[in-house]
Amino acid sequence: MTVLDTPAAPAPSPEPASTGTAAMHALRATRKRHRLGDMEWFDAAYKVYVVGLFGGIVLLWLSDLVGDAELSAAQAANVAEHGPAVLGMVAVLAFVAGLRSGAQGGPLALEAADVTHVMLAPVPRRAALIRPTVQRLRSAAFAGAGIAACLAQLAGRRLPGTPIAWFVAGGLFGLNAALLWVGAALVAHALRIPLLLTTLVGIVGVGWQAAAIATDLPGPGDLDGSLGLWGWRQEGLDVLALVFTVALVVAGVMLVSRTSLEALARRSSLVAQLRFAVTMQDLRTVILLRRQLSYEHTRRTPWIRLAAAERGPAVWRRGWYSLLRLPTGRLLRMLALTLGAAGCQVAVIHGTAPALFGTLVCTFVLGLEVMEPLSQEVDQPDRTDSFPIERGELMVRHLAAPAVALVPFTLVGAGAAVLFDALATDGDRVAAAVPVSILLAIAAVYAGASGAALSIVRDAPDPMSSTNQEVYLPPEMAGFTTVIRTIIPLVISAAGAVMALGVRSALDNDTSDPLSNAVRGCVAIVLLTVVTAVWVKYRDRARRKIRAFMAEGRDYTQQQRSAR
């Protein structure tokens, strides 16, 4: 046989396309490339560098701008004694929040394409979920460490230790708390722990840690809280908290294959809507979606049944019908926000000015929670416009029931502030603190409610939307207007928190009376609340007049141009 007679070797057959884990990774990589497009990584890295550099400079500048004095030896000893228990409450709350999140379907939220195609493909569920799990851990760790590090850097200005040491210690504490939350959520979801059981565990854990704060009883979160003081002193026993957190996270990752597909499908749609609402700065929609994520529903039966009456203020009764059906979880959340605001106000009076931001957040969110009757009216504009009453008049009447419902929370906040101040001063000025605490609680709570009402009414549909297209603004001016609209409700809410600075100034200056400063601040906030109610009532009238004036101006300009 010659060489020419040798049969040719068969052509190699192409390898079949993978339909397993490799295909899943290839699909995700392709989707990532399409999403990122032609992004220049050098430009992206440069932007991150610039933001980090200027962000650090701004943080240091704000830290020096606060100018709070260092703690005395007695105050520092008090922080060393009670600090781990107080910070441990943050770790306990993070653990409890993780348990409840896992019982309600969290913490993973995949894209709709992953839930529809990848999770139903012949791919091991662990392999499909390991990357989203790592991303969730990474994002939570980064957020927790960054926020806690910034706060610790501010606290380090008043405590022994260097700012760098406090920054690192705060980052470690925030990292531990964030991973504790994600790990608890993963384990609770994988083991299908009932929501009722997580609630009972939360009540026991929070109550135990609260007792540890008030007494010398060791609490479950003391070791975690002690990590936050590593900028000052380090204790080797605190490492056990990190060991527990790591073990919890590892257990959650190992059990990730038990994730419920139904929960992923539900959360994927809600989280997508939530991200869009955050982008549009629609706080009302964000709150509604968060309630849906946590399976929060109103009670079927009210806490107290109102007697039937043929006559009476209809809006007033509708408001109470709504408030008396608030679920237990929301009431507990409102109570926690009240206690948090009280603690922040006491911290401000004792020299920690940045705690004002904590008061702002707590009172603003409390106002959003209690303004449920107004929010429901805003959510149904068609029904609102069908009533034989002006919309502004209807909305301002919806402020009455929430204003009365805030009274018990105001009293609870005042009592908590007196208790916290007594713990900080060993009960030296309880009698003098009671009236001041009541006035500060009124100012903070009702200023937060005013800002929340302003934010809710601002998001109400515009009844003159047909004329909106006729108003043109430059992009720069439109962006500036959006920022102003977002900031104004927060500024109004912050006005009540700032009143604590006046009391603090009076305490530092023996010639001033703290009670007089509190009275003046409370009167100012009451006037601000009245102005907010007037704005809610006459908002639509004012906008109609302004737009009519602008329309007349445009018509006059067109007539002048036609005459020429």
- C-alpha span between 544 and 534 (Å, rounded): 16
Q: What is the pLDDT of residues 85-113, one digit of tens each?
A: 888 999 999 999 999 888 888 788 787 77
Q: What is the pLDDT of residues 280-297, one digit of tens each?
A: 666 777 777 777 777 777
pLDDT of residue 56: 60
pTM of the model: 0.79
20 φ/ψ sector (left φ>0, alpha ψ -120 to 50, else beta): beta
Q: What is the pLDDT of residues 308-317, one digit of tens each?
A: 655 667 888 8
Mean pLDDT of the chain, nearest integer = 80
Q: Output the six-digit token pair for 459.
A: 């998001």
Question: Between 61 and 290, where is the model more confident?
Answer: 290
Contact 506, 513 (CB under 8 A): yes
- C-alpha span between 181 and 510 (Å, rounded): 46
Question: Would the pLDDT of 542 be above 50?
Answer: yes
Distances (CA, A) of 349 to 63, 84, 426, 500: 18, 21, 15, 6
3-state percent breakdown (helix, strand, coil) of the chain, nearest 5: 75, 0, 25
Q: What is the pLDDT of residues 150-172, one digit of tens each?
A: 888 777 777 787 878 888 899 99
pLDDT of residue 252: 92
SS3 assignment, position 431: helix
105 φ/ψ sector (left φ>0, alpha ψ -120 to 50, else beta): left
Q: What is the pLDDT of residues 469-498, one digit of tens each?
A: 444 455 545 555 666 777 888 888 888 888
Q: Which of 43-57, 428-442, 451-465 has the highest mean pLDDT?
A: 428-442
Cα angle at 234 between 229 and 238, to 5 degrees? 85
Domain boundaries, the chain: 53-61+74-293, 321-563
SS3 assignment, position 208: helix
- C-alpha span between 259 and 247 (Å, rounded): 19
| Nearest by Cα to 322 from 360, 375, 272, 362 | 375
pLDDT of residue 445: 92
Q: Output the six-digit token pair for 98.
A: 């993780």
Question: Between 263 and 37, where is the model more confident?
Answer: 263
How many helices (DSSP H) and strands (DSSP E) are in the chain? 21, 0
Query: Within its chain, how far is the Cα of 318 from the centroid?
Result: 28
Question: Between 61 and 304, where is the model more confident?
Answer: 304
Mean pLDDT over 373-398 rounds to 81
